[in-house]
Every structure is written in C-alpha cells, then in structure tokens.
Amino acid sequence: MATVVTANVNGIRAALKRGGVSWLEQAGIDVLCLQEVRASDEQLVESLVGSAFQTWSIAHAPSVDKGRSGVAILTPNPHSEVRIGVGPDEFAATGRWIEVDVEIAGDLVTVVSAYAPTGEATDEARQAEKYRYLDAMQARLETLAARSKSGAGEALVCGDFNVAHRENDIKNWKGNRGRAGFLEQERDYLDHWFGALGWTDLGRHLAGDGPGPYTWWSWRGRGFDTDGGWRIDYVLSTPGLTARANSALVGKANTYAERWSDHAPLIINFN
C-alpha cells in the first residue's frame, strides 16, 4: 500500500507552529505534496528539522515573490527527474507547479503539486491570469494523459486548484454563483479533464456523491464549525493508478482550535 497526501499548508512555518508538521508525520505518508509553502529552500528545510521528513528528498519551487505561493513534493525515495513551471514563462517562477518522477510501490510515477491562482470575478486581469494558468495546466494534463494511454507511465496531479467542480463541492453553492472558484468557465475545465481527457478525481470517485467532504473553510466566521466549506483540493490520477486507489480521507481537524491551515489534507491510499 502507498499513501499520497496533498496539503495546502498556508505557510509551512506557520503550519509548523500550529502542529501541522507533527500531524503530517503521523499520517503514514509515502508521497507528500505541499502548496502555499511560502518559504525559501532554506526555510523549508529548517521547518522540517527534527521531523520524519528531515531525511526525505525535497523538490521545491518557491515563488520569486517572497512569502507567497510555493509548491513542493517530498518522498523518502530520490526523485529521478524534477521539472518546475507549466506553460508560458509567466508561471516559471511563481511557485505554482512542480513535478517529479519517483518510484512508488515499484512503479515509476510522475507526481505533480499544483497551486492555481485564486482569481477574482470582478478583477479582469486576475481572472485572466487564472484562465491562462488553467489553459497551461490543461495542456500538460493532455500530454500526461496521452503518455499514460500509450503505456509510457502513470501520473498523479495533486493540489489546490481553487475551483469547486460541482454543486456538491461547495456548501453554499447558490450564494457563490458568479464568484471566482465557482464560475461556469472555471468548472468547464474540470469537466473536460474528468471527461474527454480521462483523468479521475479520486476524492470524489472514492468518497461518493457528497455533498463534500470539503477541504477548505474560511478562517473567519463559523464556516468551519458548520462545515460551510469548499472542495478545492484534488488528487487526479491516470487510469492505471485509479484502478489501484482504494480510499480517500479528508483530515479535517476536530475543532477550530486544532486547525493548522485553512485547508485540510486530502489523503489517498493505493494498493
């Protein structure tokens, strides 16, 4: 069995102080994908000192804008290849895409950690940036799907996509129509990925029709206590890995006080 976890840590140093690294240590992880690391290479390594991850292989793509974004992939086995960035040059150093080739349970798999821009429906420039990123992501997904279909290798794409796919993926879907993260044009991308391209949304595939389980709740208000969340964190798989996936769990904290991020980790187990 292999366990893959994706977690938007909302700042690795903040998550460390809140107990997030300790929580992840206890999850029995084989592959850990992080988003919003918000740290330099040195700060990320320092945050893992003394933990089970201290000796792991780390592939990290920080953002050129300090204290923002940043994605990473951690595994106990070395990575044979590391690739940073997706699509146009504007995303090459923004800390929003990293992929590695790594052995998982005897198979060489391409693993991606992705962090899509939030966007803003009332800000044309910000929303256009999000669509450019989703376009670039889609092109890479097409390539990885074609490679899987040809038998050249399986892939997992993990991360915070900042899009809730359907009404059962957001508690207050009626009140959020017209907002970034639940726009029809954004959701159409996921329709294409899970349809024509053949990717499987393992969180939904393994958890049933929903509603939820959600993976993000605002720090403000009572959304966490009332489970007024969004499901915007995903693990996508190519068919060979879909057949081996057997369980999905969202690691939501028991209480608001025990939260170490505004997201909860998504945990996928494979045979």
Reported as a single tens digit per residue, the pLDDT across 83-101 is 999 999 999 999 999 999 9
User: What total of structural domains would you count in the chain?
Assistant: 1
Give first-to-last CA distance, the chain, whole Å. Answer: 5
113: left (phi over 0), alpha (psi -120 to 50) or beta: beta
Active site residue 262: no
Mean pLDDT on 15-37 = 97
Annotated catalytic residue, options 115, 133, 189, 234: 115
CB 72 within 8 A of CB 83: no
Averaged confidence pLDDT in the chain: 96
Instruction: Tell me the pTM.
Output: 0.97
Domain that holds residue 236: 2-270
CB 235 within 8 A of CB 4: yes
Mean pLDDT on 124-137 = 98
- Enumerate residues 6+ apart whose C-beta is below 8 A from 269: 1, 2, 3, 4, 245, 246, 247, 248
CATH of the domain at 227: 3.60.10.10
Active site residue 160: yes
Annotated catalytic residue, options 160, 169, 201, 262: 160
pLDDT of 59 > 90? The answer is yes
pLDDT of 105 > 80? The answer is no
Which residue type is seen at 251?
A: G
Count CB-CB contacts under 10 A for residue 54. Answer: 11
